[in-house]
Amino acid sequence: MGSSPEITDTWYARPGSEQDVVVSTAVELHRNLANFPFPERLDDSDGARVMSIVFDAFNRLEDSERYQTVAANLLDSNAFRIMRERNILPSDEYRNAGIILRSDGKVSCTVNCGDHVRIASFFSGMDFDRPLVITGKLDSDIQHFVQFAASYDFGYLTSSIADCGSGMRLSFSAHLPSLCMLGRIRSLSEEVAAAGFSMSAEYASGGAGVLSGRNFDGAALGGYYRISSTNCISGTEFDQVASIIALCKKVIDAERAAREECRRTVPSSVQNYMYRAASIARSSVFVTLREAIEITGGVKWALDMGFLSGINETDLHSLLYRIQEGHLRYVLDNGKFKFEDDVSGSEDKKIERLRALILQEAFENLQIQHNSAR
């Protein structure tokens, strides 16, 4: 088993179904070792013991050579940032967590990160089946070597009461620019909450203003949202999966219907958004992260509307990770670049310059579909 994580495996570079709306799907299992306090109450000695037990369990798997383990406090600051950007670590506070990555990039595990063990799998597009199978098998395999805390009445015991029961958190990321344009995000959020799920901005709030010239109520940066289960205790695992699949299909239908309505009623606003996204990407010397996410969302919207061609959904999904600061710093550290004299002396300027170059390269084959953009 390796001792340091590779950061080149990319689940998000693979195509997925319904990717015009559903960007990605995630399944996360929360587990805790029996006879240990929850992580927030662990002292340093017990925390190290839990990490050792979990790492040893992975080392004893039949396919242990596929896994790499590392303590988060051994990562340099940029490697830690990349773990955050790829949703492997949930926040900066987990400096003493453990990280386990599989070589194909389809599954990861954290130790002492809210719970003793959190097994997560992400897939592009709408796909709950494969991450459920992957996380379920890994959960079953490591239980040959560790005992998880569970109760006949409450199911798996977790650090949060809402996660007890199945201990299974389900979520999907959705691109909803048409609903943003029509001002329907708030009502959708209320429907999502009524169904027992939460809806939040995937990256940040306050989107659309950069490209549209005006803001929309509840708009997220780039039009990207994450919809997640709020508890694991209601119903069986089958019920929980069925509920989020039904909601996911409803969100897909709502965005696609809104897309057609935008095409009929506000085509000029859509074209303005599209043209500004393409022109800013192609002509800018520096691009901030917020601008890059908004630009990528704008190009994706135009592609899904049939107004643009020359790039595919998978490349746009990958771009959301390639423009992140941690990834760009990794590229700078491992490549040879010659920047303009007034850029080369500033790390921040080099990051924004490289981000602009990556966008320009990604969009070099963009073409306007005039028959659709009338």
Binding residues for ATP, by number, are 24-28, 118, 169-173, 200-205
Given a contact cutoff of 8 angstroms between Cβ atoms, the answer to whether 13 and 21 are in contact is: no
Helices and strands (H, E) in the chain, number of each type = 13, 12
| Strands 224-229 vs 197-201: parallel, antiparallel or unpaired | antiparallel
SS3 call for 151: strand
Token pair listed for 306: 């049939």
DSSP string covering 34-89: TTS--GGG--HHHHHHHHHHHHHHHHTSTTGGGEEEEEGGGS-HHHHHHHHHTTSS
Known binding-site residues equal: 24-28, 118, 169-173, 200-205
CA-atom Rg of the chain in angstroms: 22
Measured distance CA(136)–CA(133) in Å, rounded: 5
Contacts with 231 (C-beta within 8 Å, 6 or more apart), sequence order: 162, 163, 165, 196
**345 to each of 61, 213, 338, 341, how far by Cα in Å?**
48, 33, 11, 7
**54 to each of 130, 145, 180, 328, how far by Cα in Å?**
24, 9, 44, 32
Measured distance CA(104)–CA(198) in Å, rounded: 30
Residue ranges of E strands in the chain? 22-31, 67-71, 98-102, 108-113, 115-124, 150-151, 155-156, 168-175, 197-201, 224-229, 308-309, 367-368
Q: How far from the centroid of its chain's Cα atoms is residue 147's Cα? A: 30
